[in-house]
Amino acid sequence: MYSTNTITDLFQDRLRPGRILLVDTVEKKIEEDNDLKLRIALSRPHKKLSSARIYLDQLRRNDVLCHGAITNEYLIKRELELQWSEERLIGDTDHRISKKHHKDFHLDEDRRLMAFSYTPDSFTMLIAPMIIEKKEALGSMGNDAALACLSDYSPQIFSYFQQLFAQVTNPPIDPFREQIVMSLRCPIGPESNLLEPMEELEERLILEQPVLSLVDLEVLKRTTYKGWRTKVIDVVYPTIHDSKGLLPALDRICGEACAAALDGYQMIVLSDRKVCRQLVAISPLLALGAVHQCMLRQQLRMKVVLPGLLGIRYLRQYSMIAIISNFNINSMIL
């Protein structure tokens, strides 16, 4: 207990946004905002540590110098070429895409949509409006769909997680109107102890937002800037193994991820691009969670970054907006 008889009111105010007030009960003193922030700022060479940060623009410029510029059109054309060559190899004549008719290929004809549980309703009500209107489709609050555990189909693992409340702020919190207290900037890469930062581990990559376009993801996959390397791991396994091949495939993926971390890779990308009739894709949420937990047990998680940790399902949709929103829906592909 402290006696208030000898306390003199020297300053009266409220604690404003972005300010700090420290009540030290050991030293029996109060540190105000400016003094406290100055003491923290002088405790470590923060300017020297932050000067080693890497920004995505630097990786883009280095990628252009090393590999040449890539565009959305190039990535889409390459994807169409790969799909055409794969279907030609397996002799699929029913849905074979003629090389001269690539421009007539419709997005809803891509059979990989079924592999990722995209239904005609999700395509018509969600994907198409996002491409045409360049914004997310509006809908009423709440979800009246059947529970995933009671479904007769095979819903994605994402469907088993539900948000049971609506959180509303007034005014709305966003990084544009509330720049002082909120930001979308994401530092990724090898991370040192937050309480004892090491200069050699402070070369982290700074992303201005957590959503990556396909072009930016391609830049990250092939970058060699300042020794950064990316390991791409396929999260697919042969269809003939059926459900019995799931656990061995997860063990293989976790083993490759841990080996990549020990070999000095800074980024690990889990890719399901090779999905086809002979290869089935593992749920990205399941694969990512397995790798994350495995690397935590092996004490390797702080050595690498796993792009897409914030939600791969929605990352797919928003990436598609960034890539193909300016093109004709009838000539695009996921």
pLDDT beyond 90 at 28: no
CB-count exposure of residue 115 (10 Å: 0-12, 13-18, 19+): middle
Residue 298 identity (one-letter amino acid): Q
Query: What's residue 180's pLDDT?
Result: 75
3-class SS shares of the chain: helix, strand, coil, % to 5: 45, 10, 45
Residue with tokens 């539900």: 162
Query: What's residue 138's pLDDT?
Result: 72
pLDDT beyond 60 at 62: yes
Question: Does the reported pTM lie above 0.85?
Answer: no
Question: Among the residues of the chain, which ranges form H helices?
Answer: 33-41, 46-50, 56-67, 72-89, 112-115, 120-122, 128-133, 214-221, 246-262, 284-297, 312-324
Domains and CATH numbers, the chain: 54-75+174-333 (3.20.20.70)
Lowest-pLDDT choice from 26-30, 77-81, 91-95: 91-95
Better-predicted residue by pLDDT, 130 or 3: 130
CB-count exposure of residue 145 (10 Å: 0-12, 13-18, 19+): exposed
Alpha-carbon span 318 to 130, nearest angstrom = 9
pLDDT of 194-235, one tens digit each?
777 666 666 788 888 888 888 888 898 888 888 889 999 999
Alpha-carbon span 333 to 87, nearest angstrom = 15
Better-predicted residue by pLDDT, 329 or 76: 76
CB-count exposure of residue 332 (10 Å: 0-12, 13-18, 19+): buried
Hey, CA dihedral for 118, 121, 123, 129, is it positive or negative? negative
